[in-house]
Chains A and B, each alone.
Chain A
Amino acid sequence: MHRRLLLKGIVALGAMAAWPRLLLAARPDAAFIADNAEDAIKDVFGQAPVHSDQIKLKIPDIAENGAVVPVTVSTDLADVESISIIVANNPTPFVASFDMSPRVLPSVSVRIKMGESSQVMALVKAGGTLYSTSRDVKVTIGGCGG
Chain B
Amino acid sequence: MNRRDFVWMLGCASSAGLLSGCIRGELRDDPYESAAFGNARLLHFTDCHAQLTPIYFREPNVNIGIGGAAGRPPHLVGQRLLDYIGVTGGSRDAYALTYLDFAAAAERFGKVGGFAHLKTLIDRQRAEVGDGNSLLLDGGDTWQGSATSLWTRGTDMVDACNMLGVDIMTGHWEFTYRDDEVMQNIERFDGEFIAQNVRVTEDALFDGAAAYDEDSGHVFKPYSIREIGGHRIAVIGQAFPYTPIANPQRFIPDWSFGIRDDDMQELVDSIRATEKPDAVIVLSHNGMDVDVKMAGRVSGVDAILGGHTHDGVPRPIVVENSAGKTLVTNAGSNGKFLAVLDLDIGKGKVNGYRYRLLPVFANLIPADAEMQSYIDGIRKPYLDKLEEPLAVAGTLLYRRGNFNGTFDQVICDALMDVGDAEISLSPGFRWGTSVLPGDTITMERVMDQTAMTYPETYSREMSGAEIKTILESVADNLFHTDPYYQQGGDMVRLGGLNFSCDPTANINFRISDLILDDGRMLEAGKNYKVAGWATVASESPGPPVWDVVAEYLKDKKTITVDKMNSPKLRNVADNAGLADYANTLE
Contact = CB atoms under 8 A, between A and B. Distances in A.
A and B assemble together = yes
Contact of B246 (A70, A111, A136, A146): A146
B484 interface: yes
B484 A61 contact: yes
Contacts of B243: 145
A142 B256 contact: no
B469 A145 contact: no
A145 B473 contact: no
Contacts of B469: 141
B427 A62 contact: no
A141 B259 CA distance: 18
Contacts of A61: 258-259, 482, 484-485
Nearest to A145: B246
A54 interface: no
A111 B206 CA distance: 15
Interface in A114-146: 117, 136, 138, 140-146
A64 B245 contact: yes
Nearest to A58: B262
B256 A140 contact: no
B463 to A, nearest CB: 15
Query: Which of B257, B469, B477 has the most C-beta atoms of chain A within 10 angstroms of its own C-beta?
Result: B477
Contacts of B202: 70, 111
B392 to A, nearest CB: 28
Interface in A69-94: 70
A28 interface: no
A145 B537 contact: no
Contacts of B257: 64
Nearest to B245: A142
B489 interface: yes
Interface in B220-273: 240, 242-247, 249, 256-259, 262
A143 B536 contact: yes
Given A60-B258, A70-B256, A140-B476, A145 B249 contact: no
A47 interface: no
B258 A140 contact: no
Given A145-B487, A146-B427, A140 B262 contact: no
A140 to B, nearest CB: 5
B201 to A, nearest CB: 8
A130 to B, nearest CB: 24
A16 to B, nearest CB: 32
B246 A64 contact: no
B428 interface: yes
B193 interface: no
B166 to A, nearest CB: 22
B470 interface: yes
B431 A144 contact: no
Given A61-B259, A61-B484, A65-B249, A146 B242 contact: no
B479 interface: no
Interface string B167-181: 000000100000000
B476 A146 contact: no
Contacts of B242: 62, 64, 145
Interface of B: 173, 202, 240, 242-247, 249, 256-259, 262, 427-431, 469-470, 473-474, 476-477, 480, 482, 484-485, 487-490, 492, 507, 534-537
21 contacts: A56-B262, A60-B259, A61-B258, A61-B484, A62-B484, A62-B485, A63-B245, A64-B244, A64-B245, A64-B257, A64-B258, A138-B476, A138-B480, A140-B473, A142-B249, A144-B477, A144-B490, A145-B246, A145-B489, A145-B536, A146-B431
